[in-house]
Amino acid sequence: MTTLDTSPAPRTGLSFPAGFRWGTATAAYQIEGAAALHGRTPSIWDTFSHTPGKVLGGDTGDTATDHYHRMAEDVALLARLGVSDYRFSVAWPRVQPTGRGPAARQGLDFNRRRVDALLAAGIRPVATLYHWDLPQELEDRGGWPLRETAERFAEYAGLVAGALGDRVASWTTFNEPWCAAFLGYAWGVHAPGRTEPESALRAAHHFNLAHGLGTAALRAVLPRPAEVSLTLNLHALRPLTRSAADLDAVRRIDAVGNRIFLDPVFHGRLPEDLVRDTAGVTDWSFVRDGDLAAAAAPVDWLGVNYYSPTVVAAGAGPADGGPAAVPSPWVGADEHVRFVPAPGPRTAMDWPVDADGLHELLVRLRDELPGVPLLITENGAAYADRAGPGGVVHDPERIGYLHAHLAAVHRAIADGADVRGYFVWSLLDNFEWAYGYSKRFGLVHVDFATLRRTPKDSARWYADVIARGGLPA
């Protein structure tokens, strides 16, 4: 493992506020491996990845990057980066294998050891309770479209908080519930692979309810200063033109892509236009009295995940003007909206590189959610990184991407957005969901044959940014 040079650098260029939280992030199924060890049972992603044709190359997370056994090595990498924070997720099927009942001691012990190692290295643990790995037994009972799953999540949140609450002071209930609901239950490209539009709307509501119930369960156990948050992948939306039809396309995607979570959590209401747009799919009778009040449990900060902007126009179908994609994640909007490729360079995911979208999103949240601190909990890019002679991994495109997006965050702070931190996605190259091991987001290169970790040039660059407290000129 290569050592990073994190010696202090002079403060030049763009300086960030004192106390700004510099971090990186991972998710349990993408890195842990040890899929059947010490009582862990299958999650929906275990089942999905073992289903032929669902994941590129037939890849699974059975081993991933073997973080379960290499955790100490990975914490040492974090320490060499100099991060103040590390955002990881707790694997629900590792600590509560059936999704109900008592916790598994060995699963909790693994998380205790990880947290203790982070604290010993001077790194603040930021624990995400759910990053898409629902215990398969709960999916077999109905999954997130079933109200009971929200109730089970609250029980699980209380168990984990009871075990780690004396060590972890920063908690997130959910990561990207939009992806879990709409990619998993409407489009079918993520676990559990269902294509049921109404089920996706039910799932979205139950994620909101579970966030509220889980927040209450956390606050009942955690010491007073502990932070509780939610992380959303909010869509930075732009109309192709300023026509009324294109602006309405933005409204439709904003309703089902953003406000379906923002309005219940921060305002205790459903978006009225979303209810109208989806009237042909559901009457929303699954929303019970008291649900929206429960969902609106106050958070200490909002996590924002951003990768690229979304350009939309009126008209059914994809950017080529063809028929609407069936199935589609855009329930209630898919017959009225088409997506237009944004101009400019693209990452290996074929996502456009446009840091202005992050600035636009942060300014919107400044205006719409006054008094709610923000953390960039994921931002990064996949490129076709390869280890060269001597194991050196040059990734100038990633450095350029991160530099531009951090500059956008700095500009948003100057414009009054209360942004408290920035976490790069991801620490390690890992199992990238339906793309398997074909896409590399990591600051650290992983040879998936040997699992050798090699910091890329971007890791050294980020360590320098942290050491100087900002961007070089």
Q: Which of 32, 176, 360, 397 is catalytic?
A: 176
Give dist(CA 59, CA 64) in Å, integer.
Answer: 9
Which residue type does 285 have? S
Angle 249-255-258 (CA atoms, 0-180°, nearest 5)? 115
Task: Decide if 211 contacts 176 (C-beta within 8 A).
Answer: no
Backbone phi and psi for residue 14, each to the nearest 5 degrees, phi listed first: -100, 115
Residue-wise burial string across 169-205, b where 16 or more C-beta atoms lie within 10 A, e elsewhere: bbbbbbbbbbbbbbbbbbbbbbbbbbbbbbbbbbbbb
Joined together, the tokens standing for residue 27 give 């998710």
Are 455 and 77 in contact by the 8 Å Cβ rule? The answer is: yes
Which of 75, 76, 185 minimizes the C-alpha distance to 134?
185
Residue 233 vs residues 236, 305, 321, 382, 438: alpha-carbon distances, Å:
9, 5, 26, 17, 22
Which member of 32, 360, 378, 432 is catalytic? 378
Helix (H, G, I), strand (E, B) or coil at 302: strand
Q: Is 397 a catalytic residue?
A: no
Is 378 an annotated catalytic residue? yes
Cβ–Cβ under 8 Å, residues 74 and 428:
yes
CA–CA dist 451, 64 (Å, integer):
9
Residues with active-site annotation = 176, 378
